[in-house]
Amino acid sequence: MQDKKWQPQWWTQDKHESGWERVKEAMKRDWVQTKSDFGAGGRELDQDVDDTLKQAAGKDAIPPAGTPNAPGGSPAALTTCPRCGGVTRWIEAATKPDAIARLLAKHGLGPRPPPKPPPKGQLRLAFPLA
């Protein structure tokens, strides 16, 4: 007797078996995140439903087991310009408020002054926009 599983004629090992493995791995990551969310063990992977779907479909890479997802989703999202689609080059990243303020000031994008209040004595009327 052969030990081979029956597969439909259209089934190819390289295309369909790898797809199924990808779906299983994405679902495993989702389950680990769910356990973490409910405080029942697991590990914080920064995995949500859209991450699971993108990973299962092959649109996002699946990080190694136990490794959180890249911030902002796909690693490709971090290296692609949202305006032109070109490749970006990361020079520095800031995550703490003082580092963010320093970087913004360095590039001329420092904090803006608050908006000026209306002149004293000016009447403000609220009109419905509908």
User: Which residues have CB under 8 Å from 56's CB, separation 6+?
Assistant: 22, 23, 26, 27
Identify whether 71 is part of a domain: yes
Start-to-end CA distance of the chain, whole Å, equals: 76
In a domain, 17, yes or no: yes
Residue type for position 109:
L
State if pTM tops 0.75. Answer: no
Look at residue 30 in the predicted model and tell me its pLDDT: 92
Residue 36 lies inside a defined structural domain of this protein: yes
Range of the domain at 35: 13-78
Domain total of the chain = 1
Q: Is residue 99 part of a domain?
A: no
Domain assignment of residue 46, yes or no = yes
Q: So what's the pLDDT on residue 27?
A: 93
If the chain, 130 residues long, is cut into consecutive pieces of 10 residues, what is the mean pLDDT of each piece? 62 69 90 90 87 86 82 60 71 80 79 74 72
In a domain, 70, yes or no: yes
Q: Is residue 65 part of a domain?
A: yes
Domain-embedded: residue 19: yes
pLDDT at 76: 54
